[in-house]
Structure 1
Amino acid sequence: MLDKNRDAIACYDKILAVEPDDTIALFQKGLAFYDEGQHQEAIACYDSILKIEPNDKDTLFQKGRALDEDGEYKEAITCFNQALEIDPYNMDAIFHKAEVLFGLNRYQEAITCYDKILETNSDDIVVLYNKGNALCNIDRYKEAITCYDKVLTADPDYTDALYNKGDALYNLERFREAIMYYDEALRVNPDNINILYDLSDALFRTNRYKEAIMRYDQILAVEPDDTDTLYQKSHALYILGKHKKAMACHDEILAAISNDTVQLENIGNSLHTMERYEEAIKYYDRLLEIDPNNKAVLCNKGFIMCHYEKYKEAIMYYDKALVVDTNYMHALSEKGTALLVLNEYEEAIECYDKVL
């Protein structure tokens, strides 16, 4: 294909050497450059035509396409608008304009373009599908579902429409219906990891934990180091009372993110908030191996020791945090509480006085 385009460009160059204003040769040369991915060269050809024929709608349209491919989106829209001023019913120009607007997150304007096309061809499933996606992006899920339904009436196996309808239902918290559409999408495309992610989440939200775990395992068979999935699987196992298996998931997560302090702290804190202290300790211990002076983690570890009524150990962690920052109010307050439990009133008062 590349050789064919290059040969064509060479032929057009010969024509243009004799007739530099041959707009047909310039147009075809521009198309050949576009096919080669040489968008700036294509634009130069189209500009040469527009100097001669400034209202050539086809050239304006093709220039818009080349600008779009080159990332010059606003300029592309300008070209499509100019083409549409000449021919307001140029469906290709309307569609491409909509796609550029969609890419710029200007969803309402994109929807207006899709609606113009649908006035002429109400059964265009690509336009209906894209309109549905634009509606989802501005949280108009019920209208999006209407679009997806029209697509699925024409093509019941349109995987992306099934999947996105599932997502729209999910966002409306209609999880059981969402599961039906995720299942249908997987029937058509059983290896789609993204559908598996969303299906497993919907199953979790409807308390179908065993089924969710089956889906997590399908994902992990393909992506064994997917820490998000391992984490969600640990949740499901924990809820089912399978604490050892949940802990095994955390061992796998720790192996995958052993030096990622941000993820370690985020997961540790999340587990801490859910009062799953035994699991949280795994992450805090790893963090303290990397950074023994992390005062927040030291303080959190102290809090967990208090939960287990290991007050002396808790105080040891608070003291380590206070070596790092002598005015760390959270550590002083928590240390005071631990000292009170141990009937160490004077020392507790000293801590509280520093807080005050």
Structure 2
Amino acid sequence: MRLVSKRLVYNDERFHQLLLTFNPFRVGVLPSFEPTFFEQTGFLMTFLNISMSKDNFYERAQAFMDVNRYEEAGQLLAQAIATEPDEPLYRFQLARVLLQMENYPKAYECCMSAIHLDPEFAGAYFLSSLTLHHLLNFDGELRMAEEAARLDPENETFLVRLGEAQLQSGLIKKAGETADQVMYLDPGSVEAHKLIGDISLKLDNDKKAEKHYREALRHEPDDIALLNDLARAQVGQKKWREAIDTLHHVLCLDPSEKILQDNLYLIIHEWLNQQAVKKRRKTALEELPAPVRLFYLDSKKRRSFFTSTSRLTIIAFWLLVLTLLSLLFSSLVE
């Protein structure tokens, strides 16, 4: 049995975190400026003033984003673009805002505008890769991730994005090589552990997946998508009770998430079916913690006959229905 991933496409939950935490003020990400040009033309002070203005615009927009006021951030950045239409950073930042607002086509347009203004802007390629993922353009997602990593080959964020895009495209071996590269650059990288866990899960190496998910969880213990993936790895190893405990903990963190509810119900139901073979179903159910037992019984009542009944029972039911229909048809013919 394989549980449903918490992620809508490949890594939706983690993409959201990347957008919130990604810092473009790092080597190889921002558009580069050549100081000697300004020194030669006598505009060094002008350059410094513009830089301060850029920082101010960026920080004000970021302040709005930090409190989820994306419309205000977008309006501010639109003004900045009107003032300095050749500045790629504003278009990059506006793409981040639009991505948070789930306006993926417009976000992609902003990314491409930034790239047009500065073809070496690695951060814009990175962001366009995220955007194309949401647009389900996985070939384009991979191309953009490759370009970001080419422009800044030691940037952990870009390499992780490349590994995720490779995994999405089925390039599992390459994704593994990329993850190894991230681990080499930063042996304690949380994102590298997540990526290696994802690759291992894809290869049905559930034991290795669990190891790396646990390592990542040491740093991010309340990551819901990551905990759900840990439960998936535990199920792959038939660690039913551990998986039940893991998902119960996750559901306490986010009680309204239907995917988590479905996964927990499926695990308990499958485990109880296995216990029934040993004639321990009732005893096993009573051994579960009271909140988990009540959750299962309540969920079972809410589900239809077909989702709450074992496969063998459903097969027997349909055989009975077909037999009755056959007898009815025979009597009508006679």
TM-score interval, smaller chain: 0.5 to 0.7
Normalising by the residue count of structure 1, what TM-score does the alignment of the two structures yield? 0.52
Q: 1:67 to 1:202 in 2, by over 3 A?
A: closer
User: C-alpha displacement at 1:189, in angstroms?
Assistant: 2.5
Letter in 2 for 1:98: A
* Structure 2 counterparts to residues 306-321 of structure 1, below 5 A: none
Q: 1:229 to 1:220 in 2, by over 3 A?
A: farther
Of 168, 177, 181 in structure 2, the residue corresponding to residue 180 of structure 1 is 177
Query: Would the aligned equivalents of 2:111 and 2:124 in 1 still touch at CA under 8 Å?
Result: yes
Query: Would the aligned equivalents of 2:275 and 2:284 in 1 still touch at CA under 8 Å?
Result: no
User: C-alpha displacement at 1:163, in angstroms?
Assistant: 0.9
Identity over aligned pairs, percent: 15
User: C-alpha displacement at 1:79, in angstroms?
Assistant: 3.9
Match of 1:66 in 2: 60
Q: 1:121 to 1:273 in 2, by over 3 A?
A: same
Measured in 2, the distance between the counterparts of 1:158 and 1:181 equals 12
Match of 2:290 in 1: 289
Deviations 1:140-186 (A, max 9, x none): 22212212222222322221111111212222333333232223222
SS at match of 1:89: coil
Match of 1:345 in 2: none
Letter in 2 for 1:66: R
- Are 1:249 and 2:242 counterparts? yes
Q: 1:234 to 1:268 in 2, by over 3 A?
A: same
- Are 1:205 and 2:202 counterparts? yes
Letter in 2 for 1:117: A
Deviations 1:179-234 (A, max 9, x none): 32223222223323343233223212213345334434544666789854652343
Query: Would the aligned equivalents of 2:207 and 2:233 in 1 still touch at CA under 8 Å?
Result: no
Match of 2:35 in 1: none
Q: 1:293 to 1:69 in 2, by over 3 A?
A: closer
Greater relative contact order: 1 or 2 (C-alpha under 8 angstroms, separation 6 or more)? Answer: 2
Match of 2:109 in 1: 112
Normalising by the residue count of structure 2, what TM-score does the alignment of the two structures yield? 0.55
Greater shift after overlay, 157-166 or 203-212? 203-212
Measured in 2, the distance between the counterparts of 1:160 and 1:141 equals 18
Of 141, 144, 154 in structure 2, the residue corresponding to residue 157 of structure 1 is 154
Query: Would the aligned equivalents of 2:228 and 2:250 in 1 still touch at CA under 8 Å?
Result: no
Deviations 1:319-348 (A, max 9, x none): xx9xxx9xx9959x98xx99xx9xxxxxxx
Letter in 1 for 2:232: Q
Alignment: residue pair count: 247
Match of 1:232 in 2: 232
Letter in 2 for 1:237: Q
Measured in 1, the distance between the counterparts of 2:61 and 2:182 equals 35
* Structure 2 counterparts to residues 37-186 of structure 1, below 5 A: 66=60, 69-70=63-64, 71-186=68-183
Of 266, 270, 273 in structure 1, the residue corresponding to residue 267 of structure 2 is 270
Match of 2:319 in 1: none
Q: 1:83 to 1:329 in 2, by over 3 A?
A: closer
* Structure 2 counterparts to residues 17-28 of structure 1, below 5 A: none
SS at match of 1:156: coil
Letter in 2 for 1:177: K
Structure 1 unmatched ranges of 5 or more: 1-57, 239-245, 301-320, 342-356
SS at match of 2:86: coil
